[in-house]
A and B are shown apart, each in its own frame.
Chain A
Amino acid sequence: MLRFIIRRVVIIIPMLFIIVSLTWGLIRLAPGNFYTGEKKLTPAVEQNLREKYGLNKPWYVQYGRVLRNIARFDFGTSLKYEGQSVNQILWRALPVSAALGLTAYLLALLIGITTGTLAALRQNSWIDYASMALAMIGISIPNFVLGPLLVLLFSLTLFWFPPALWNGFASKSLVLPALTLSAIYIAYIARLTRSGMLEVMRSDYIRTARAKGLSERAVVFRHALRGGLLPVVSFSGPALAFLITGTVVVEKVFSLPGLGNYFINACFNRDEPLIIGIVAFIAVAVLVFNLLVDISYGFIDPRIRYT
């Protein structure tokens, strides 16, 4: 187990190196610069800016600086936002994305697993059909459509929730974005739970459990769920990583100060240090969450052993 974890952790380093190098190369290929604007700068001003941000140095010096920054996990200062360090921005934006993502994640798990299990236990009943139909709709409606629909209903017609803006973690402004964000995950998890449960319920060890004379409750909660939720677990790790590291569309629709919003703007602004910082951060998060999922497999499914 320990060797497995160490191996996986060590692998993160070359992965990160490749991801960051690719990102850096792509940014350099993109036309325009952080100071490219509608108004053309005078040559002297452009020269001054290039000097100030070290863009006059040869490419290997600039690349070396990027790698050095990554090694220390200090990504330098933003080009667009004068005097703000990328780390500062990351730590400021992460809590917003995390609060939004976690709320959506919990909603998705709670509602998704419940409906999925119910549907599986009452296969081919109206509960099954209704919840799977809803799930189908949930998967099909993209969140940039769902968001405005929710806004139309709850903000502009009923005036219950604000249509946008961020008023803190425990505020009404979290409701609509979290709902919008979780819809597709609720649907996914419900469907995964249902199929996982259906498969497990037919397996031998459930039959054994039933033969032992266990109650239906014990069969479902102690035995079936553990196996039936495996697909959900493997899905939920990366899902959590994506949810809390910023969701571009929802943050943009609701104008929230999260990582996703920063990221998309950093790309448009050609803000190299910020792009690289966010990419590196998200890459590490996804790699770590995947590792955690693999580890948790071992605990959930007794059939899996790591060597």
Chain B
Amino acid sequence: MDHRKQNRISVGHSSQLAIAAFVLALSLISAGCNALAKNSVFFGKTDPPRDNVLRYVSGSEPESLDPQISDGQPEARIYMALFEGLVEYDPKTTTPIPALAERWEINNDSSEFTFHLRRNGRFSNGDPITARDFVYTIRRGMSPKLASRNAGLAYYIKYAKAYNAGELFVLDPVSQSFLLEKDFEEGRDQPAKLPLSSQPVGSVTAEYPPVPEDKTPDANTPFHQFMHSPARVVLPADEKKRNAILDANPKLKAAVAGKQLVAVTAEDIGVEAVDDYTLRISLAQPAPFFLSLMPHQFFRVIHQKTVEKFGAAWTDARNIVTSGPFTLEAWRHYDRVVVKRDPMYWDAANVHLDAIVFYAVVDNTTMMNLYKAGEIDAMLNHAVPAAWLDMIAPMKDYMDAPEATIEYWQFNCKRPPTNDVRVRKALNMGLDKKALGAWRHAKPLTAITPEGMFPGYPQPKGDPFDPEKAKSLLAEAGYRDGAGKFDPKKFPVDQIEIGINPDGNNIPTAEFIQAQWKQNLGVTIPIKIMEQKTFLAARSNLEYKGIARNGWGADYMDPFTFLGLYYTPTGNNGTGWWDPKYAALLDEANSTGDRQKRLELMAKAEALALEVQPVMPLFTTSARWMKKPYVKGMYPNPASLFPWKWVYIERDQAKWDYGVPKMTE
């Protein structure tokens, strides 16, 4: 998700002033720290707080406490305290574990999910949490009027995209039947293989794996039959766009004439409360990773009556009704959000903290100061500035672990010189990523997915560091002298630049790579620093010259969250490169029922992309944060997301954490 990036890879916005201040403060403070920290294994004070309260810096001011509004990670951590979903992130691995759903069934091609809710789930006002609340939550999230930025995450759900985009069904007023997609698919050699969720109920024997209990996931309802019937035709509401589609498909155009256009409604999307405690979600296509999406803030359950009664003000402290282990005590804007333990929470007995204070602080130096002075107990990931790492990394309260987040530079494959695959490959080979990784305290990366993050995934390797090969590739690409050798002077450095935004460690990293290229290839590519939004606009519109920095954090724990970036030519691709073969491999992977085969197909797609090098992978990021030794139950997991109910303050020094807590315990 992008939000990771905004606050992970690049923390906050900084002006030139702030950078200058940062550099100065840094040198002063690190000088001071070195003097103070000589005899200490921890950074600064280690007195536990008097009360059973965790004081945490969560990053920028939350946009909203409505979990369906913000797509940011600082907010995600607060939402995790206030709201609960069907499943929760495992505190160590971030894979989904039961939460409000006790158990679930997934059909054989991962196109339908049936969740069984616990009976004792309660909102903070005491109301029971039922499947209907989840239906409401998802429908509301998809509503065009709410305009949630996260809505795209749920587009896998049947008709969810059509509803969110305000699209239309086509109804024949005479026969009262809808036009169906399968009748108008042209240019296909054979009818597409339908996902099980779209085949008539009962037509497939054993759609679900055998269930030991009496529950029948196939429980038949009219809605379920509607879901399992062939997909209806959906058309855009916008007349221009609709006519463009109709003009391209004369058969469809003829069929639509004289028919009634009916808006897709919230009631049409594939979520159904089979009974009070059974929720069924039908997808438009197989999505084996769908369960890993369910702990996302967008799917955390909210209280219908409160939302409807108060509108946008429902998140005010005096109105809010929550569903998580904590409930809102106070929100002091641009300062702190305070949450307190909710006695109504179904598992309240296992919630250790009385309260959590989330401070809104964005400046890294300020966070480090607060931490050292003992004003906070832990801070968000990527908070320790790169330049401090040599001093901080040896300390026993430094939390270091690889994250499911990568940093990379992308190439503009549409304009010279980076439209030439040889140039892209040469630039990639001309960078010593081991040296970069050592300097950034991160794991160097040659592939598109982070390394060692997905068990069983046969990740392909990209090209290694090889300046000689790089030079010969550049010579091949035409930048050569009379003797046919690479001539750096011929390389058009006026047509290419390294586009970055000035946040976090982007500038020193760009300078590092620029120096590497100068040393290894003899070319000096200028760095262009742009203000955050200016940069983002240029990057997503492919208006950058040659190179733009980027980073991506997993939306869910599956390689597809990274590979999906290049699944379409639009969206977050941003490179201008797209290959239908690549997309086809991913389609094939996602529709196979076999887990290992799926991973192999995805690896094949990744290898295909690495062949053409639309991006230059840099490294898998490390979590890079700190927590006091007395904070227990908080693990540096791959997403840096912490289910708060497991966190506690340990007053017995003998039980403190010395170093990163063991993740295998």
User: Are A37 and B145 in contact, CB atoms less than 8 angstroms apart?
Assistant: no
Indicate if B335 sits at the interface (CB-CB under 8 A): yes
Would you list which residues of chain B between 116 and 149 have a CB under 8 Å from chain A? 144-149
Indicate if A270 sits at the interface (CB-CB under 8 A): yes
Q: Closest chain A residue to B163 by CB distance? A: A44
Indicate if B304 sits at the interface (CB-CB under 8 A): no
Q: Which of B146, B311, B533 contacts A30 (CB 8 A)?
A: B533
Q: Closest chain B residue to A53 by CB distance? A: B147
User: Are A145 and B335 in contact, CB atoms less than 8 angstroms apart?
Assistant: no
A-chain residues with CB within 8 Å of residue B63 when the two chains form the complex: 80-82
A249-B411 Cα distance, complex, nearest whole Å: 36
For B325-360 the 0/1 string (1 means CB < 8 A from A) is: 000000011111000000000000000000000011
User: Are B366 and A163 in contact, CB atoms less than 8 angstroms apart?
Assistant: yes
A-chain residues with CB within 8 Å of residue B146 when the two chains form the complex: 48
User: Are A265 and B61 in contact, CB atoms less than 8 angstroms apart?
Assistant: yes
A48 with B369, Cβ < 8 A, contacts A37-B2, A152-B32, A163-B375 known = no
Indicate if A216 sits at the interface (CB-CB under 8 A): no
A43-B161 Cα distance, complex, nearest whole Å: 11
Interface centre among A142, A144, A164, A258 (most CB of B within 10 A): A164
Indicate if A36 sits at the interface (CB-CB under 8 A): yes
User: Are B164 and A148 in contact, CB atoms less than 8 angstroms apart?
Assistant: no
B-chain residues with CB within 8 Å of residue A39 when the two chains form the complex: 1-3, 5, 71, 572
User: Are B147 and A49 in contact, CB atoms less than 8 angstroms apart?
Assistant: yes
User: Are A52 and B145 in contact, CB atoms less than 8 angstroms apart?
Assistant: yes
Q: Closest chain A residue to B55 by CB distance? A: A165
Indicate if A255 sits at the interface (CB-CB under 8 A): yes
Interface centre among B366, B571, B572 (most CB of A within 10 A): B366
B-chain residues with CB within 8 Å of residue A31 when the two chains form the complex: 533-534, 537-538
A-chain residues with CB within 8 Å of residue B546 when the two chains form the complex: none
B-chain residues with CB within 8 Å of residue A32 when the two chains form the complex: 532-534, 536-537
User: Are B17 and A45 in contact, CB atoms less than 8 angstroms apart?
Assistant: no
Indicate if B28 sits at the interface (CB-CB under 8 A): yes
User: Are A89 and B21 in contact, CB atoms less than 8 angstroms apart?
Assistant: no
Indicate if B492 sits at the interface (CB-CB under 8 A): no
User: Are B32 and A45 in contact, CB atoms less than 8 angstroms apart?
Assistant: no
A254-B144 Cα distance, complex, nearest whole Å: 39
Indicate if B650 sits at the interface (CB-CB under 8 A): no
A255 with B149, Cβ < 8 A, contacts A39-B1, A148-B25, A148-B29 known = no
Min distance, Cβ B398 to any Cβ of chain A, angstroms? 18
Min distance, Cβ B299 to any Cβ of chain A, angstroms? 16
A-chain residues with CB within 8 Å of residue B311 when the two chains form the complex: 83
A191-B67 Cα distance, complex, nearest whole Å: 54
A93-B61 Cα distance, complex, nearest whole Å: 13
Indicate if B507 sits at the interface (CB-CB under 8 A): no
Interface centre among A30, A47, A82, A261 (most CB of B within 10 A): A82
User: Are B532 and A268 in contact, CB atoms less than 8 angstroms apart?
Assistant: yes
Min distance, Cβ B310 to any Cβ of chain A, angstroms? 9
Min distance, Cβ B495 to any Cβ of chain A, angstroms? 21
Q: Report the tally of A-B residue pairs with Cβ distances under 8 A.
A: 191
User: Are B363 and A48 in contact, CB atoms less than 8 angstroms apart?
Assistant: no
Q: Size range of the interface on B?
A: 35 or more
Interface size in chain A (residues, C-beta < 8 A): 59
User: Are A36 and B373 in contact, CB atoms less than 8 angstroms apart?
Assistant: no
A48 with B71, Cβ < 8 A, contacts A148-B25, A262-B334 known = no
Q: Closest chain A residue to B555 by CB distance? A: A39
For B1-15 the 0/1 string (1 means CB < 8 A from A) is: 111111000000101
A-chain residues with CB within 8 Å of residue B6 when the two chains form the complex: 37-38
User: Are B362 and A47 in contact, CB atoms less than 8 angstroms apart?
Assistant: no
B-chain residues with CB within 8 Å of residue A254 when the two chains form the complex: 366
B-chain residues with CB within 8 Å of residue A48 when the two chains form the complex: 144-147, 151, 164, 166
Task: Select the stretch in A5-13, A66-74, A154-162, A202-210 that faces chain B.
Answer: A154-162
A164 with B369, Cβ < 8 A, contacts A38-B2, A38-B5, A44-B165 known = yes
Min distance, Cβ A194 to any Cβ of chain B, angstroms? 30
Indicate if B152 sits at the interface (CB-CB under 8 A): yes
User: Are B5 and A257 in contact, CB atoms less than 8 angstroms apart?
Assistant: no
Indicate if B254 sits at the interface (CB-CB under 8 A): no
Indicate if B612 sits at the interface (CB-CB under 8 A): no
User: Are B17 and A47 in contact, CB atoms less than 8 angstroms apart?
Assistant: no
A14-B570 Cα distance, complex, nearest whole Å: 46
Would you list which residues of chain A between 157 and 201 have a CB under 8 Å from chain B? 157, 159, 162-166
User: Are B313 and A255 in contact, CB atoms less than 8 angstroms apart?
Assistant: no
Q: Closest chain B residue to A151 by CB distance? A: B369
B-chain residues with CB within 8 Å of residue A296 when the two chains form the complex: none
Indicate if B64 sits at the interface (CB-CB under 8 A): yes
A149-B44 Cα distance, complex, nearest whole Å: 18
User: Are B312 and A149 in contact, CB atoms less than 8 angstroms apart?
Assistant: no
Indicate if B465 sits at the interface (CB-CB under 8 A): no
Min distance, Cβ B316 to any Cβ of chain A, angstroms? 9
A82 with B312, Cβ < 8 A, contacts A37-B149, A156-B29, A265-B13 known = yes
User: Are A52 and B147 in contact, CB atoms less than 8 angstroms apart?
Assistant: yes
A262-B333 Cα distance, complex, nearest whole Å: 10
A48-B166 Cα distance, complex, nearest whole Å: 9
User: Are A144 and B333 in contact, CB atoms less than 8 angstroms apart?
Assistant: no
User: Are B64 and A82 in contact, CB atoms less than 8 angstroms apart?
Assistant: yes
A interface residues with partner B (beta carbon < 8 Å): 30-33, 35-45, 47-49, 51-52, 80-84, 89, 92-93, 142, 144-145, 147-149, 151-152, 155-157, 159, 162-166, 249, 252-258, 261-262, 264-265, 268, 270
- Beyond contacts A45-B147, A48-B145, A82-B69: 18 other A-B pairs, Cβ-Cβ < 8 A, are A38-B4, A39-B3, A39-B71, A41-B152, A42-B152, A44-B161, A44-B164, A89-B333, A93-B333, A144-B20, A145-B20, A148-B28, A151-B25, A151-B369, A162-B375, A163-B375, A164-B375, A255-B361
A-B complex: 4 closest residue pairs judged by Cβ atoms:
A39-B2, A32-B533, A83-B312, A257-B334
B interface residues with partner A (beta carbon < 8 Å): 1-6, 13, 15, 17-18, 20-21, 24-25, 28-29, 32, 36, 44-45, 60-61, 63-64, 66, 69-71, 144-149, 151-152, 155, 161, 164-166, 311-313, 315, 332-336, 359-363, 365-366, 369-370, 372-373, 375, 531-534, 536-538, 540, 550-551, 570-572, 574
